[in-house]
A and B are shown apart, each in its own frame.
Chain A
């Protein structure tokens, strides 16, 4: 479930899921909707796949993504979208040698 929360914590990934709610889409078609580089989008797709929220199917030279969300995950997505849920990385203090 941790993977699901992590996947839903990012607005870009939530937008990807919302687009896939309408219909299965090709990776390029999805990437064109966002002002980020393709490697960044690939990383987002990997996180969503790891969480089991989407599934990729190869069709010739293209990859087709589609939704693979349970009803609970679907409800969590709607909730996260409504409250603007975002998990920010914890800032860790750098320990400087000799400081202690």
Chain B
């Protein structure tokens, strides 16, 4: 892992922590309403999914260690797309839908993204075992 990647990850984690802490505090002190804090946390979660998913296909493992490099590449690409679309969906839901509908919609989108990733990981593992 390069220092630039590590730096980006630490920065993103810092932003998530700051927003998660500041938004409820702002609501508690009357600087923002409760909806704002909930929406801010959802937006930052969506952004996390989007940024992580976008970078996912760029992370490469050595070719020599893979039984099926084509399948490995395809899995990374598909997983990246799923995460980016889930993240954009969560952000969109947080910004556009009423809060009552936004929270379940965001949760459902994240659950779909994580489930699809798990399915791909299992498939990838099987392909690797077949190739070995």
Residues of A within 8 A of B (CB): 21-24, 52, 55, 57, 59, 64, 66-72, 74
Contact = CB atoms under 8 A, between A and B. Distances in A.
B77 interface: yes
B70 A70 contact: no
A23 B57 contact: no
B26 to A, nearest CB: 31
Contacts of B62: 57
Given A24-B63, A59-B63, A67 B80 contact: no
Contact of B53 (A22, A24, A68, A71): A71
Nearest to A67: B73
The range of chain B's interface size is 10 to 19
Contacts, number: 46
Interface in B49-63: 53-58, 60, 62-63
B84 interface: yes
Interface of chain B, main secondary structure: helix
A52 B57 CA distance: 12
Contacts of A72: 54
A74 B77 contact: yes
Given A57-B63, A68-B60, A24 B54 contact: no
B13 to A, nearest CB: 20
B81 interface: yes
B92 interface: no
